[in-house]
Amino acid sequence: MLWVALATAIMLLSGELTREADDGTTLARLLEALRKSTIQDVTDAQRRAAALRALEGFELGLSAYRRQIATFKACIAAADGKYNATKADYDACQAPVEAERANLRQSLVAAQSAYEASVTEAERAHVAQTVLAMSEAKLLDAAQASAAYHPVASRARGLEGVVSERHMTLPRNVVAIMYGPLSSSTFGQRFPSRIVDGGTSYAHQDQARADATGSPPDLWNMRGGVRVGMFDDFEAGALFMPLQLGPKFKFDPVSIFFTQQFRFHGVDLAVRASFQTPGDTGWGIAPGTFLAFPGKRLALRTGVVLPMEVGTLRKKMSPVVGLNVPVRVTWNVVPSFFLSADSGVAYDRLATKGGLEVPLGFGTGYSLLAGSKLIDITALFSWDHWLSPAPQHGSAQLDWQAYRIAFGASLYFQAL
Amino acid sequence: MLFWRALVGRVGLGVGLGVAACSHPPPRLSVELSARATAKAGVVSLVVADPVRAERLHAIYLEVVTLAHELDRSRLAARAQCRAQPERRAKGAAANDPIVSGALECLLAPPSGESRALVDRYALLMLEARALLTQREFEKLARMR
């Protein structure tokens, strides 16, 4: 209910609901204005009463119009939901509309004549002037409305099922309860002091690396949150349940992200602004630009992220800036099952010499439809510091000891 | 005090969002048809294992979106056509009058014209979709919206 309300409020504020609504509400406002203006402008009581009776004819007409539309839509929806439906079921929806509309037309013509007879030309001009001054009056100019009609090519609003076909942002009104790795919003979220991903994760590193980075050798985390497609290509989200389970239980910083996407033919360009609430290293900021190539079976994602940890006003520190160029290839073996490989280049602290690293990770996931909801069960195994091609001392080295396992499930549904 | 303010603020926001959710006007037929089709289009590959059938179904659902735009266009065209009929062509000041010019009549009871043919086309697409789906697949997709 919360998501439905939020989606409705966003659509209401952006004017989308008005654009998608039928004309009933606008027509009701026009008739209301006609009634008010007639009461005000028609001076003779007898003629005024006759004019208002004629307007009642239009009001009844509006009720009939609304009823016809609602009945017709319900009839089509019922036919759509029936597996054994035939052409006759759809025809049965259309037939009564024709007859009812012909009757309605006759009664409206009668009401029109009655109104014309009861109101003088000067009074009619006054009433028309009042009504035409309303913004709703543009509905009355049918020729202009027809000429000005250009359908807006908007993004399809339903859930995107096959992982390799998904875009960087969720479609409008789609909500994801995130509790698993490999989601778009955590792609490339590698800060100098921590890697942020959804789900339950266990990270292991040897004592030497633990001493160097200041993080424990065995680390358990649990991160959950939500993503919402707010507009066609704009998504907002947060991992607001970030817990460190071990070696010591504590709350980690909350991650918040906003992504704007630009869709081109076969390529998506996305810009993400993400930040973390202050933790041990203060605020974390990670602006990034991404390129995604969705495909039927194979998808490629890459990007450039500039993560930094900048301290806080109270706890000042020199900003730690990194650079991260993640790459992910996703292969949908079948539409519901995928494998993925992650790599790229990461430089967690640009100020430190020889810090360039190449991570290597493998993921997998299964997409499951449950009613109107989609569940992604995902898992990831990653060597986040796999290769150091040019360390400060010595030659290139591989680190198989530092690894991370993450797993979880994310739930997607359409809010409206 | 702060707690009560926060509580009142949240309740207010909740009520506001709730009212917004309940008070919006009903969508047009084209919007509903389009929404039902797009809700299925994205997940059809997860429901229908056969790629050939899945692809055709996907194409059908996308065609419904185009058809929905056509429905909107035809609705507006029918109203414009209704207004242009000689018996409704009011002269002088009456041409601007919402009632005498026949504008309201054309809005409330426009001729069906092309939209009937478009709904027929929609029905045929939906019947073709059924022919491509087993009952179980159909029911799974129907649950999407």
- Model ipTM value: 0.86
Q: Which of A112-121, A192-201, B49-58, B84-93 has the lowest mean pLDDT?
A: B84-93
Instruction: Kindly determine whether residue A335 and residue B45, on different chains, have CB atoms separated by under 8 Å.
Output: yes
Instruction: Give the separation between CA A144 and CA B82, rounded to whole angstroms.
Output: 13
Q: Indicate yes or no: CB of B122 within 8 angstroms of CB of A90.
A: yes
Cβ–Cβ of A101/B112 closer than 8 Å? yes
How many domains are there within chain B? 1
Higher-pLDDT residue of B19 and A236 is: A236
CA atoms within 13 A on the CB side of A86: 1
Which residues are B85's β-sheet partners? none
Q: Tell me if B70 is assigned to some domain.
A: yes
Q: Which residues contact B124 (CB under 8 A, 6 or more apart)?
A: A87
Find out whether B116 and A75 touch, Cβ atoms under 8 Å.
Answer: no
Nearest to A83 among B42, B120, B135 (CB): B135
What is the DSSP-derived secondary structure letter of residue B99? T
A69 and B103: CB-CB below 8 Å?
Answer: no
CB within 8 Å: A34 and B99: yes
State residue A339's pLDDT score: 98
Per-residue pLDDT of chain A (416 residues; tens, 9 = 90+): 666 777 777 776 666 666 777 788 888 888 899 999 999 988 899 999 999 999 898 899 889 888 988 999 999 999 999 999 999 999 999 888 888 888 888 888 888 888 888 988 888 888 888 888 888 888 877 777 777 777 777 888 899 999 999 999 999 999 999 999 999 999 999 999 899 999 999 999 999 888 887 889 999 999 999 999 999 999 999 999 999 998 999 999 999 999 999 999 999 999 999 999 998 889 999 999 999 999 999 999 999 999 999 998 888 888 999 999 999 999 999 999 999 999 999 999 999 999 999 999 999 999 999 999 999 999 999 999 999 999 988 899 999 999 999 999 999 999 87
Q: What is d(CA A161, CA A166) in angstroms, rounded to the nearest whole number?
A: 7
Which tokens belong to A294? Answer: 């969705």
Write out the residue range of the structural domain in which residue B34 sits.
Answer: 30-142
pLDDT attached to residue A22:
78
What is the rounded CA–CA span in Å between residue A304 and residue A287? Answer: 9
Closest residue in A to B25 (Cα–Cα): A21
Domain contains B82 = yes
- In single-letter form, the type of residue at position B116 comes to R
For residue B18, being part of any structural domain is answered with no
Q: Give dist(CA A195, CA A188) in Å, integer.
A: 9
- Tell me the C-alpha distance between A330 and A298, whole Å: 6
Residue in chain A lying closest to B101 (CA)? A112
In total, the C-beta contacts within 8 angstroms joining chain A to chain B are 230
Identify whether B13 is part of a domain. no
Min Cα separation B30/chain A (Å): 9
Please check whether residue B7 lies inside any domain of the structure: no
Residues of A in contact with B69 (CB under 8 A): 151
The Cα of A72 is separated from the nearest Cα of chain B by a number of Å equal to 9
Handedness of CA A115, A116, A118, A122 (dihedral sign): positive
Confidence band for B92, pLDDT divided at 50, 70 and 90: low
CA distance B64 to chain A (A): 12
More confident residue, B128 or B76: B128
B-contacting residues in A 51-70 (Cβ below 8 Å) = 54, 58, 61-62, 64-65, 69-70
Are A333 and A339 contacting, i.e. CB atoms less than 8 angstroms apart? yes
Average model confidence (pLDDT) for chain B?
85
Chain A residues closer than 8 Å to B26 by CB:
21-22, 24, 69-70, 73
* B19 in a structural domain: no
Closest Cα in chain B, distance from residue A281 (Å): 29
Q: C-alpha angle with apex A291: A288 to A297, nearest 5 degrees? A: 135
β-bridge pairing A323-334 and A320-321: unpaired
Q: Is the pLDDT of residue B19 over 70?
A: no
Query: SS3 sequence, chain A?
Result: CHHHHHHHHHHHHCCHHHHHECCHHHHHHHHHHHHHHHHHHCCCHHHHHHHHHHHHHHHHHHHHHHHHHHHHHHHHHHHHCCCCCCHHHHHHHHHHHHHHHHHHHHHHHHHHHHHHHHCCHHHHHHHHHHHHCCHHHHHHCHHHHHHCCCCCCCCCCCCCCCHHHCCCCCCCCEEEEECCCCCHHHCCCECCCCECCCEEEEEECCHHHHHHHCCCCEEEEEEEEEEEEEECCEEEEEEEEEEEEECCCEECCCEEEEEEEEEECCEEEEEEEEEEEEECCEEEECCEEEEEECCCCEEEEEEEECCEECECCCCCCCCEECEEEEEEEEEEEECCEEEEEEEEEEECCCCCCCCEEEEEEEEEEEEEEECCEEEEEEEEEEEEEEEECCCCCCCCEECCCCEEEEEEEEEEEECC
Nearest to A191 by CA among A341, A323, A389: A323
Closest-approach residue (CA) in chain A for B82: A142
Task: Assess if residue B8 is contained within a domain.
Answer: no
* Alpha helix (H) residue ranges in B49-134: 51-84, 103-108, 114-132
* Per-position b or e across A173-204, b if 16+ CB within 10 A of its CB: bbbbbbbbbbbbbbbbbbbbbbbbbbbbbebe
Please indicate, yes or no, if residue B15 is contained in any of the structural domains. no
Smallest Cβ–Cβ distance between A143 and the set B14, B31, B80 belongs to B80
Token pair belonging to A352: 């430190």
Taking each helix axis from N to C end, the angle separating A45-80 and A87-118, rounded to the nearest 10 degrees, works out to 170
From the candidates A105, A106, A166, A332, which should be mutated to test the interface with B, based on the most B CB atoms within 10 A? A105
Q: Which amino acid is at A305?
A: V
| A residues 175..204 contacting B (CB < 8 A) | none
| Distance, C-alpha B51 to centroid of its chain | 28
- Among the listed residues A374, A85, A171, the one whose alpha carbon sits nearest the alpha carbon of residue B45: A374
pLDDT at B96 over 90: no
User: Which pLDDT does position B21 carry in this prediction?
Assistant: 57
Q: Say how many C-beta atoms besides its own lie within 10 A of residue A373's C-beta.
A: 16
Which among B27, B46, B76 has CB closest to A162?
A: B46
**Is B71:B33 a contact under the CB 8 Å cutoff?**
yes
From chain A, the residues in CB contact with B64 under 8 A are: none
Angle at the Cα of B48 from the Cα atoms of B42 and B53, rounded to 5 degrees:
95
What is the number of other CB atoms lying within 10 angstroms of the CB of residue A369?
A: 18
What type of residue is A361?
A: G
